[in-house]
Each structure stands twice: as C-alpha cells, then as structure tokens.
C-alpha cells in the first residue's frame, strides 16, 4: 500500500504512522519527497486493511500496489534506479557494456581478453570462476583461484568485475572479489541464495531463468530487495522455446515490458541469448534500441580455443566494431556509453 501524506504533515505524525505500520508486523517504508511524504506498508493485505489509513487526518490517499512484487515495482518507486559502478553507472543515461570470457581459464587468456575489452570501451569485465555446466564432465571453473585471478586482472586494467555465485556457502568469498555478483539462469529461483544475496552490500546481476516468466523474474528480484539489498540489475538472456536455430530465444519484447513494470536496470545478454557470435552484434543494437541499460557480452581473445562458449564469444575485433556501432547509435536514443 502506498500512503501519501497531506502536504505539511508534521514529521511526528509520519513517525507515528510508521510505528503503527510496524506494530502490525508489516514492513514500513519512508519515502520523503520534495513537498509530500509517501509511506509504504507491505505485507498481509488484512493487516494493512486493519490500519484504516484512508480515514486518518494526515493521509491524503491510500493506493494499493497492484503488482505481486512490491519493492521492485514502479508503482512504489517511479524513478529509475541507477547503480554506481566504478567510474560509471548502470541505469540512467549510461549504457554499460560488461564484457569478457565465459570463464576464467588462464592468466594469459584473462589478461589478453581484459586488455581487449578495456581497449574497446567496456565498463566492466565478466568471467566465471564457478561455472554451471549442463554436463558434470565439462570444465566447472577454477573456483577461489579463478576469483583471485579475476579480481587481480580487474584491478590491473581498472575494470570492475562481474562473476557468478552458485552456492550460499560461496557468497562471502565471491562478494569479496566481485563488484557485481551474478546469479545465473539456473539459480534464478534458488530462493535461499537470493535471500543470502539480499543481505550483502554488492550489486546483484539477476539473470532470467530459461523457463521463467517476466513475473517470476521480478518476484525473484523482490526476494533480494525484501532482504535489504536494492542494488539489483536484471538480465534478459533468452528463454527456451520450440526454436532450435538459436541456443535460446532472446525475448527482447521483455525489455521494454520489464522497464515499464520496474525501476531496476535491465541488461541484455545476446551471447547466451543466441549462442551464435554473428547474431551478437545485431541483437546488441536491437537491445539498445528497445531500451536496455546495457549488455553482458562474451568476448574471448581466441574464441576457437575457449574452454566454454567459444561459438558465441566475439573476437576482439568484432567487439571493437560492436562498440563503435553502439557509440554511433546511443546518442540517437538519448544515451551514452558508460
Ligand atoms: C554466464 O553468463 O556465464 C552464464 C552461465 O549464463 P546463464 O546463467 O544465463 O546461462
Ligand atoms: Mn557462457
């Protein structure tokens, strides 16, 4: 419930209302605006109704939040969330390109790729140290050694780093090395993991599950915000459909839809979304055109020798072309490369 107080409501009256909301076992939100204070009461509908706030003398209006997700919804928070990242930001005017290999492989591979994406203008370096692989016999990632190598390489090239966490037990270690902690598609509804990530102070990159509806994604994000971490970045990375020509079906219509429903920034991953490197450039431009706040894109210094996802990884020269084209397109859209 969104409770708008009348202009000039004394702050003691707002505090008393917040205390009443809390007394009911509800979550209370205090959102002071320039001329009016807005409060929020989240929780059981019956407990909210018992407050009878619409008859309170200092209350101007009481509006239910219709969406099943609350903290994530634009109804509660009309303005875009902007998440600071290094010298740039995710959301707002900035369009942020997070690029790098699928996985941390070797020091030389990571450094060469980091150098290439830095030169191309990436705002952050991505690489997995924990890899969720379909087959247990595929490379699973270097774990803690990979995290150390990633954070050292990020520092060397002045790039913030994004990397995936798969288990609650690894959250603190991953958060200590990463600037952005990624939740992969396979873990989008690992609610215990989401809750644990809601209790850390790092931005979370939440990827859409390949069988998840947009509402499922937004409710998954709600788990993180409900625990106190409001730095969540959503990522459309393709869903499973009957189509087999591409690895997944990149659901770009979801991008403007999601942005109409939530204030959180939305990235697009055209690499996992298509599985084909030649489709990464056109789908990246389309992602920018439909309002995405940035990209998560796989680049490898030598894709033919990549330990995972080589066929969807860009060559450095292709990454340069992508960034040049984005640089030309973004101003038309009122945005700029972060
Ligand atoms: C990844 O980005 O490294 C990854 C494994 O992607 P997804 O979880 O979207 O499959
Ligand atoms: Mn990958």
Residues 291-333 have pLDDT tens digits of 999 999 999 999 999 999 999 999 999 999 999 999 999 999 9
Cα 54 to ligand 2 centre (Å): 51
Predicted pLDDT of residue 257? 98
Cα 272 to ligand 2 centre (Å): 6
Closest ligand 1 atom to residue 237 Cα is 9
Per DSSP, helices labelled H in the chain are 11-23, 45-50, 107-120, 144-157, 171-177, 191-197, 214-226, 254-261, 270-274, 277-289, 316-329
Q: 183: which strand partners?
A: 206
Tokens (6 digits) for 155: 């520092």
Q: What is the pLDDT along the chain (338 residues), one digit of tens a residue?
A: 999 999 989 999 999 999 999 999 999 999 988 889 999 999 988 998 899 898 999 999 999 999 999 999 999 999 999 999 988 999 999 999 999 999 999 999 999 999 999 999 999 999 999 999 999 999 999 999 999 999 999 999 999 999 999 999 999 999 999 999 999 999 999 999 999 999 999 999 999 999 999 999 999 999 999 999 999 999 999 999 999 999 999 999 999 999 999 999 999 999 999 999 999 999 999 999 999 999 999 999 999 999 999 999 999 999 999 999 999 999 999 999 99
Q: Model pTM?
A: 0.96
Cα 78 to ligand 1 centre (Å): 30
Predicted pLDDT of residue 289? 98
Check if 102 has its Cβ closer than 6 Å to any atom of ligand 1: yes
Residues 165 and 127: their CA atoms lie apart, in Å, by: 11
Tokens (6 digits) for 34: 């320039």
Nearest protein CA to atom 6 of ligand 1, as residue? 184
Residues 221 and 206: their CA atoms lie apart, in Å, by: 7
Residues 174 and 59: their CA atoms lie apart, in Å, by: 45
Nearest protein CA to atom 5 of ligand 1, as residue? 184
């Amino acid at each position: 419930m969104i409770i708008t107080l009348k202009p000039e409501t004394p702050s003691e009256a707002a505090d008393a209302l917040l205390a009443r909301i809390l007394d009911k076992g509800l979550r209370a939100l205090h959102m002071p605006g320039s001329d009016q204070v807005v409060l929020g009461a989240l929780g059981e509908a019956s407990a909210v109704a018992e407050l009878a706030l619409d008859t309170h003398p200092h209350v101007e209006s009481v509006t239910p939040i219709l969406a099943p997700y609350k903290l994530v919804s634009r109804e509660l928070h009309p303005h875009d969330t902007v998440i600071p990242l290094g010298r740039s930001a995710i959301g707002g005017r900035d369009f942020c390109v997070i690029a790098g290999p699928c996985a941390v492989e070797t020091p030389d591979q990571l450094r060469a790729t980091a150098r290439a994406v830095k030169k191309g203008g990436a705002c952050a370096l991505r690489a997995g140290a924990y890899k969720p692989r379909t087959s247990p016999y595929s490379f699973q990632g270097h774990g803690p050694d990979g995290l150390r190598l990633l954070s050292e390489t990020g520092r060397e090239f002045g790039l913030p780093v994004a990397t995936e966490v798969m288990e609650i037990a690894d959250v603190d270690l991953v958060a200590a090395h990463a600037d952005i902690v990624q939740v992969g598609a396979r873990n989008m509804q690992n609610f215990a993991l989401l809750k644990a990530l809601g209790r850390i102070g790092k931005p979370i990159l939440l990827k859409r599950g390949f069988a998840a509806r947009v509402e499922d994604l937004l409710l998954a994000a709600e788990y993180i915000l409900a625990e106190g971490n409001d730095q969540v970045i959503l990522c459309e990375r393709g869903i499973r459909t009957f189509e087999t020509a591409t690895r997944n079906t990149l659901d770009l219509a979801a991008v403007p839809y999601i942005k109409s429903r939530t204030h959180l920034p939305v990235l697009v991953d055209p690499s996992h979304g298509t599985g084909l490197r030649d489709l990464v450039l056109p789908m990246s431009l389309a992602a920018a055109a439909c309002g995405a706040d940035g990209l998560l894109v796989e680049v490898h210094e030598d894709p033919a020798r990549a330990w995972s996802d080589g066929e969807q990884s860009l060559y450095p020269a292709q990454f340069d072309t992508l960034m040049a084209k984005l640089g030309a397109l973004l101003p038309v859209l009122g945005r700029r490369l972060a």
